[in-house]
Amino acid sequence: EPVPFFNGLLGQDNHDADLPYFPTADNMPDPTPLPEPGICPEEGWHAVHLYYRIRRDQLALLSDSDRRKGCEQVEQLLDSKADHAPPVIQTFAVAGHKADFGMLLLGPDPLQIDAVKQRLQASALGPALEPTYSYVSRSEEHTSELQSH
């Protein structure tokens, strides 16, 4: 029989039902096995929403060859069929003054998603791209219908 919580501390021997009990192997439920630790969830995908403003003053400082090189780098980076690409890459124009374009990156591996952001900033156009807003979320489940490759 479990021992009331305060009995051991107070030396009392009453078995008042209102007192809490010490947990013992006999009165504890079986532990639920935990999933293996990792960054890729068993269910759901990581989603990153990134918004950028094009700094035209910085873009004007780049040479024509650097702008061409940067455009090629960004085009390759955003190719959803490339090996480095997360399952979903969506780009979109943003109306209004807070950003010029945005991206939605969706997939199970947050490091693969973050690599797109890092490569974008490291591209030849990176100095002309000002991050204005971002947020991270997780989908409740993933679906192959969303995959772009």
Tens of pLDDT, residues 33-83? 877 777 777 778 899 999 999 999 999 999 999 999 999 999 999 998 998
Distance CA 101, CA 86 (A): 19
DSSP the chain: -PPBHHHHHHT-----TTS-B---TTTSPPPPPPPPP-SS-SSS-EEEEEEEEE-HHHHHHS-HHHHHHHHHHHHHHT-TTSTT--SEEEEEE--SSS-SEEEEEEES-HHHHHHHHHHHHHSTTGGGEEEEEEEEEE-SS--GGG---
What is the pTM for the complete model shown?
0.69
Distance CA 8, CA 100 (A): 68
Asked if the model's pLDDT at residue 144 lies above 60, the reply is no
Backbone angles phi, psi at 31, to 5 degrees: -70, 145
Task: Return the residue matching tokens 């990792």.
Answer: 38
Q: Number of C-alpha atoms within 13 angstroms, CB side, residue 118?
A: 8
Q: Which residue has the higher pLDDT, 98 or 148?
A: 98
